[in-house]
Amino acid sequence: MDGPTRPSPCHSQTDALNDELKERLTMSDTHVDSCRCDKTQGEVKMRSKRFGRGAVESGLTHECGVFGAIGTGDWPTQVDVAQVICLGLVALQHRGQESAGIVTSEGKSARIFNSHKGMGLINNIFNDEAMKKLKGNLGIGHTRYSTSAASEEVNCQPFVVHTAHGALAVAHNGELVNCSSLRKMVLGRGVGLSTHSDSELITQALCLNPPEGETNGPDWPARINHLMRLAPLSYSLVIMLKDKIYAVRDPYGNRPLCLGKILPLGSSYAYKQSSAQHAAVLMNGSAKNGLDDKAEGWVVSSESCGFLSIGARYVREVLPGEIVEMSRHGIRTVDVVERPADKQQAFCIFEYVYFARADSIFEGQMVYSARLQCGRMLARESPVDADIVSSVPESGTAAAHGYARQVIGYLTSFCPGLHSRDRDMFTVRDKSGSNPCPYCIFHSDWLSCWSAIGFFLWVHIRIASPPLKYPCYMGINIPTREELIANKMDSNKLAEHVGADSLEYLSVEGLVSAVHYNMKTTPSDGVGGHCTACLTGEYPGGLPDDVDW
């Protein structure tokens, strides 16, 4: 379609144009009513809104990052466990910025844990005084974005409860799909709940005896197995007892979780390029890279991006349904809970698009490489005859590189005046002879960069993600279809709305193809499947009957 006529990009008109564009980005009822997009798509029906859900007003958010560490060999360990966890949480800060907490154990008493939690950023919560209290040989930590409960200090994790068998601490990333039925079951057993958090519910559910019963004390793997059968989606958990940590990933593998090894000083923290283990690690990270190397400790994390800063080597992912026991003697798999035979793995594909840090490793590949391929795929699907491609950090940068290499062979400059993580996009300027260069904005996930549009005559927007059209009930703050602009306007209407000459998304097929491009396995192997529910409305476990939001 023909783009709107623009004034020349002189400084005297810039502020007025920006104000106009801001106003146009605020959608009015008349915009919605004039929409020509297809409104006949199948809709996920919800009966009521879950307590606290959607209360976060910072845009698209993701619930939480978890981290755990344990020293090996003789205790007290030489590893500063609290410091390792703190640094690990700093690396996961992009996953949650509302609150954080660390709980440690010295491994001596089943009754006493050291704990410190608070609201705000990691560096503000864990000062020198707080860190001195967190002595221990093992510990777990958590950084939070709320989706299933209010952003209050009472909901800070890790949660600690005192059972007949000692203290238990739990940190959780995700959101229970069948929270309502599980809550009724726990309350029916006479257990009180003080918050609306899924994480407290998980903690209390772990205190229940498994159906098979127990002899000679609590069977924690059996309890975890029971919980996983009651709640198949969606979570990654770190569970700490007196002297052990359990790392748990739901049977669908919807939320990420990986293992790392703390190496002695002087060790190589990179993969062994010449080793057989390295090649196997690329097979979806399922091999044990360098497992025979001496370790000073083990770590578990939502993402691998923080391992290098703490002197740890990425080893592998926790597999879907796997329960990994971490102790002073090392790590071992104690159980694997299978998903239904007709179901594939359903790792959240939006981790690749937006949430994860670019230097993290998922499914044997760097997130950066997947985003790079998304940009290349988008250039094939929706090319622009461009002279210049520019990027705004952070999640759109890799896709911008991929798009630029496909279209013109290089990346040239950055979009001015933008600094928010929510404005991750790149720009393309067309070849147009003697006319001023047109300008194209690329955004990896949503529309929020508009301040530079007024400096160019033509604008083309390219988004390296399919449009979000459906709510997510597995740990991402997308509560209703009404909040999503793609359900109100088609691409042409959106382009007109933001003052662009064209706007195109990456297709769902293109995104899946880009993510699978560097993977060594395929969904037909039982791994490598991805959840695209927010894009297609196809939920991996189906929509539960008791969904309560």
Q: Does 72 share its domain with 27?
A: no
pLDDT, tens digit, 9 for 90 and up, residues 26-85: 433 333 333 333 433 333 333 334 444 444 444 444 568 999 999 999 999 999 999 999
Residue 101 has a pLDDT of 96
Q: Does 26 share its domain with 76?
A: no
Q: Is residue 508 part of a domain?
A: yes
User: For the chain, what is the largest distance between any 2 Cα atoms, rounded to a whole number of angstroms?
Assistant: 84
Per DSSP, what are the bridge partners of residue 101?
117, 142
3-state secondary structure of 224: helix
Which candidate, 388, 506, 503, places its Cα nearest to that of 1? 503
Q: Is residue 501 part of a domain?
A: yes
Q: Is residue 351 part of a domain?
A: no
Query: Could you give the percent of the chain with pLDDT greater than 90?
Result: 46
- Residue pair 139/244 in contact by the 8 Å Cβ criterion: no
Q: Does 72 share its domain with 125?
A: yes
Q: How far apart are the first and last CA of the chain?
A: 40
Q: Which two tokens stand for residue 77?
A: 């360990």
The residue type of 247 is A
Lowest mean per-residue pLDDT among 175-189, 437-451, 487-501, 513-527: 437-451
Q: Does 29 share its domain with 73?
A: no
> What are the DSSP calls for 371-439, one per residue?
HHHHHHHHHHHS---EEEEEE-SSTTHHHHHHHHHHHTSS--EE-TT---TT--EEEEEE--TTSPPPB
Q: What span, in angstroms and rounded, lies between the C-alpha atoms of 110 and 543?
A: 40
Q: Does 370 share its domain with 296?
A: no
Q: Is residue 474 part of a domain?
A: yes
Q: Is residue 540 part of a domain?
A: no
Q: Is residue 219 part of a domain?
A: yes
Which candidate, 466, 475, 448, 458, places its Cα nearest to that of 512? 466
pTM of the shown model: 0.81
Q: Does 29 share its domain with 87?
A: no
pLDDT, tens digit, 9 for 90 and up, residues 337-389: 999 988 999 999 999 998 999 999 999 999 999 999 999 999 999 998 776 77
Q: Does 177 share its domain with 307?
A: yes
Burial of 544 (0-12, 13-18, 19+ CB in 10 A): middle
Check which CATH number belongs to the domain holding 228 and give it: 3.60.20.10
| Boundaries of domain holding 503 | 11-34+366-516
Q: Is residue 509 part of a domain?
A: yes
Chain centroid, CA 80 distance in Å = 27
3-state secondary structure of 357: coil
Q: Is residue 48 part of a domain?
A: no
Burial of 192 (0-12, 13-18, 19+ CB in 10 A): exposed
Q: Does 445 share its domain with 311?
A: no
pLDDT, tens digit, 9 for 90 and up, residues 111-144: 899 999 999 999 999 999 999 999 999 999 999 8
**CA angle, 243 as apex, 238 and 247 as ends, to 5°?**
20
Check which CATH number belongs to the domain holding 499 and give it: 3.40.50.2020
Q: Does 22 share its domain with 109?
A: no
Catalytic residues: 64
Q: What span, in angstroms and rounded, lies between the C-alpha atoms of 198 and 203?
A: 9
Q: Does 303 share its domain with 423?
A: no
Phi/psi of residue 314, each to 5°?
-65, 130
Count of domains for the chain: 2
What residues have CB less than 8 Å from 316, skipping those under 6 apart? 258, 259, 281, 285, 286, 287, 288, 289
Q: Does 417 share its domain with 495?
A: yes
Burial of 549 (0-12, 13-18, 19+ CB in 10 A): buried
pLDDT at residue 444 tops 60: no
Q: What span, in angstroms and rounded, lies between the C-alpha atoms of 476 and 174?
A: 8
Q: Does 457 share its domain with 315?
A: no
pLDDT, tens digit, 9 for 90 and up, residues 70-86: 999 999 999 999 999 99
pLDDT at residue 87 tops 90: yes
The residue written with tokens 């798009």 in the block is 403
Q: Which two tokens stand for residue 487?
A: 């359900």
